[in-house]
Structure 1
């Protein structure tokens, strides 16, 4: 994290110039401005253009400073998240709980969220699990509510009945705590309670 926001990087792509990608990303992140703030501060060089109605996605200098410091911590953070994910997977897969594939020979996840899907439960049962976990001091979440279930999108005419797959992926989803401040004891406590509560359904 950079407190709020993030950074984007890429591996060089054969046949595509890195500088070309960089310039395109600058346009996308700076309202489509043809010059960044630093370029506009050079003597007599204030003139700029907006070449497309794009986005405001650049981070502040303060967040950039936090991000640079976080880069030094990042390998350790990834390692700890992977340890927790592997312990969760080992505990939950035998119960038939569906989990995301965070790691294989083709990709490595940042371990941002630990998403589970408990088979054959209703939305009410999912909510009951979350409440019981909360009663034991464990904050769970749901990622994410499909857009057609939210008022802004309902008001535009979207109906969740038209998106059965999105609904089915949402209705039994529970996100467990996953962050680097969890101790091994915390992880054991989460595992034991989740297993117990799910098994009692």
Structure 2
């Protein structure tokens, strides 16, 4: 089986983890802050806050910007459920904005129209989570301009996008958002096994996220509400969580970070080769906006169903039957049973549903060989022919 994504673990990664295992700290030691600063430096942000998953980072980001009961969070329906669930964790109400048919990201024109309606109805969002699907950034300049006009906070879900750029600047530099979140799951661009990280230029937001990731407990006298009773003293000053990253994860992440640019460049080379190899097949290859340099986490094709005999499902199953580990990113969140119980229904976001009916994620990862890529293309050709 050729998987759709796979981690790359090198000897230096193993050495970095072994060094931590032989040290005095497995958690809450020096490796985590060192990794946080390394990521912040990489993307041009002031602060990094490392946690145990990107889902946790999204939750903390929403809490830090003040999302709560009675507020609205808007995001894209084509994303993993965590991009929406983070709003529900804060007891906010979640809604969606349909996608752009070329980038598959949240459409800024649809967002502008929905904001105008929401303003008339008195239900403007407190937070918009802009998801950089497949690693390609959203039109952040347009979203930021709308945030200034309508007064919402912007969180970038860049789980797919570390190492990418928008308008020549690193994704995560904070020019157009309050907080940016990265994922380090094994199939992502770099990995900490499990883990995530939020970057921001705002001192207060960073302080809040760092406090909340560790139970809301502090030993910092500046954050306490009363004088310390002794050197042992700590205070819980907020209701927080156990979202900490371990030293082992941080060491692995920092080792991986050294190869980030090479990983992204390799993904681009493989994606461009797919573009050439698939050019004559009845499908649409991923369009890339000239203002962006994608992290290229995923390579999603869209089948031209009117031009082929097999159904979308049959093509997918035929690829799996041939040992090609394709996947589908993602099922529209609003069609999930949990969200249907909240009042959403098929037909609410038609562009997202058209995408879902046609999309297949092909294997793409840095250690994938050209021979494996040729196997994927040959299998896809056979599947499209119904062979």
What TM-score bracket applies, with the shorter chain setting the length? 0.7 to 0.9
Write the distance in 1 (CA, Å) between the matches of 2:288 and 2:326. 19
> How much has 1:164 moved relative to structure 2?
2.0
- Does 1:3 pair with 2:193? yes
Name the TM-score, length of structure 1 as normaliser: 0.76
CA offset at residue 20 of structure 1?
A: 4.3
Q: Provide Cα deviations, 1:22-79, integer angstroms capped at 9, x if missing partner.
A: 3354356556x37489x99x934512411xx677654222211211111122222212
Deviations 1:75-96 (A, max 9, x none): 2221221111111112224435
Instruction: Specify which of 253, 269, 277 is matched with residue 83 of structure 1.
Output: 269
Partner of 2:253: 67
Instruction: Name 1:136's counterpart in structure 2.
Output: 322
Distance 1:158 1:57 in 2: 30
Give the superposition deviation at 1:140.
0.8
2:298 alignment partner, one of 90, 100, 113: 113
Contact 2:212 2:240 (C-alpha < 8 Å) held by counterparts: yes
Using the alignment, how far apart are the partners of 1:43 and 1:76 within structure 2?
A: 47
For residues 99-147 of structure 1, what are the alpha-carbon distances to aligned partners after superposition, in whole Å with 9 as ceiling and x for unaligned?
333563x22222111111112359x711111111122211111111112
Q: How many matched pairs?
A: 188
2:281 maps to which residue? 95
Normalised TM-score (structure 2): 0.42
1:188 maps to: 374
1:157-196 matches, cutoff 5 A: 157-196=343-382
**Unpaired segments ≥5 residues, structure 1:** 11-16
Distance 2:330 2:242 in 1: 24
Secondary structure at 2:197 match in 1: coil
Q: Residues 173 and 28 of structure 1: is their aligned pair in 2 closer, same or farther, counting only changes over 3 Å?
A: farther
1:151-201: CA deviation from partner (whole Å, max 9, x where unpaired): 222233321132322211100111101112311100111122213432559
CA distance in structure 2 between the partners assigned to 1:55 and 1:47 by the alignment: 14
State whether residues 30 and 36 of structure 1, in contact with CA within 8 Å, keep that contact through their aligned partners in structure 2. no
Classify 1:27/1:90 alpha carbon distance in 2 versus 1 (closer, same or farther; 3 Å): farther
2:206 matched to which residue of 1? 22
Distance 1:45 1:103, change over 3 A: farther
SS in 1 for 2:365: coil
Q: CA-atom RMSD, angstroms? A: 3.2
Q: 1:158 to 1:103 in 2, by over 3 A?
A: closer
